[in-house]
């Protein structure tokens, strides 16, 4: 339940940052958008985010056309990493086999630059 709420709250914060923070809008404009998602490995909890300079949409599940997917071993791991989404936290999780990245690692770096402005 906590992870579902955290992912919903993340969508709210992304939409708010798009409205209020000029630097966030500028970075998103340079990227021309990013479609990404977060899920547990068993896909019991999954949410995707479609971000473009025109707006941010969020929904349940993981469509197959996402640029980036972050898959976590379980809810506890996801909450631990998402509370402090630093590059080191993701690397440590990947080295331990608790976090799996599906997509380009360059997209992860773009996402982390955006998340700094929340």
Q: Please name each of the domains of the chain with its CATH number.
A: 2-115 (3.30.1050.10)
Residue-wise pLDDT for 13-35, tens only, equals 999 999 999 999 999 999 888 99
Residue-wise pLDDT for 75-118, tens only, equals 999 998 888 877 788 888 889 999 999 998 888 888 888 888 88
> What is d(CA 118, CA 113) in angstroms, rounded to the nearest whole number?
10
């Amino acid at each position: 339940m906590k992870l579902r709420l955290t992912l919903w709250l993340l969508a709210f914060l992304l939409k708010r940052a798009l409205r209020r923070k000029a630097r966030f809008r500028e970075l998103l404009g340079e990227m021309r958008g990013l479609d990404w998602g977060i899920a547990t490995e068993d896909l019991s909890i999954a949410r995707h985010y479609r971000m473009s300079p025109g707006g941010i949409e969020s929904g349940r599940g993981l469509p197959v056309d996402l640029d980036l997917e972050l898959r976590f071993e379980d809810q506890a791991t996801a909450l631990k990493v998402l509370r402090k989404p630093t590059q080191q936290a993701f690397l440590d999780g990947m080295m331990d086999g608790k976090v799996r990245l599906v997509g380009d690692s360059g997209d992860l770096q773009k996402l982390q630059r955006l998340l700094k402005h929340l």
